[in-house]
């Protein structure tokens, strides 16, 4: 109410002790509702960029069975991002927020085991270059990032936001399963 004396200041946010993670929650997706392509964000890009992205994703097991309209929506949902050499694009243990397509540049993938938890990046397990993709596991399984991805050269990636990725995959997978069940 107007003129009332202010109450006590809000309590400071409490910090959880390090160690066990809290749960990760993502938006609920109704697999039976199908995919509404109009709900997918549209990011303008050049014809050349669309061709490069399509070359990367069309052979991916995740996207190879998408129809042309859905594949176009996936491509148009991605936004470009410049990554400087030495920059950590993904950090092991963080929440997954994007799926990435490498347009140019190079990345190293490191995994540290529980014994390495406090020091360094861990072991180099693979490298990514143009026309490769990464970041899908944390999005698919709603789990923390399983590796750290560090740029080893100035790079350009295309990024698809978590909710778009999940909408496309859940709707497509459920539609495919329903079609197989009805045959």
What percent of the chain has pLDDT above 90? 53
Distance CA(72)–CA(67), nearest Å, equals 9
3-state DSSP call for residue 89?
strand
* Stated pTM of the model: 0.76
Taking a C-beta distance cutoff of 8 angstroms, is the pair 90, 173 a contact? no
The pLDDT tens digits of the residues spanning 52-79 come to 999 988 878 888 888 899 899 999 999 9
Of the candidates 108, 121, 120, the residue with the CA atom closest to the CA atom of residue 151: 108
Q: Which residue did the predictor score with more confidence, 44 or 118?
A: 44
Beta bridge partners of 160: 99
* pLDDT higher than threshold 70 for residue 93: yes
Task: Check residue 116 and give its pLDDT.
Answer: 64
Of the candidates 37, 60, 49, 42, the residue with the CA atom closest to the CA atom of residue 158: 49
* pLDDT higher than threshold 80 for residue 173: no
- The predicted model gives 120-129 an average pLDDT of 94
The residues, any chain, with a CB within 8 Å of residue 2's CB and separated by 6 or more, are none
- Band (pLDDT 50/70/90 cuts) for residue 136 is very high
């Amino acid at each position: 109410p107007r003129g009332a004396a202010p109450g006590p200041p809000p309590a400071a946010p409490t910090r959880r002790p390090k160690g066990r993670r809290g749960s990760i929650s993502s938006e609920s997706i109704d697999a039976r509702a199908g995919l509404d392509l109009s709900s997918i964000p549209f990011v303008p890009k050049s014809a050349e960029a669309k061709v490069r992205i399509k070359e990367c994703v069309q052979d991916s097991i995740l996207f190879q069975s998408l129809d042309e309209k859905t594949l176009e929506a996936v491509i148009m949902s991605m936004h470009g991002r410049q990554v400087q050499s030495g920059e950590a694009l993904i950090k092991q243990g963080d929440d997954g927020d994007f799926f990435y397509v490498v347009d140019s540049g190079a990345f190293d993938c490191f995994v540290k085991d529980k014994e390495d938890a406090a020091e360094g990046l861990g072991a180099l397990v693979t490298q990514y270059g143009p026309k490769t993709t990464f970041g899908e596991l944390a999005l698919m399984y709603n789990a923390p990032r399983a590796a750290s991805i560090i740029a080893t050269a100035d790079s350009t990636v295309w990024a698809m936001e978590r909710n778009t990725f999940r909408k496309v995959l859940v709707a497509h997978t459920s539609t495919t399963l329903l079609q197989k069940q009805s045959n």
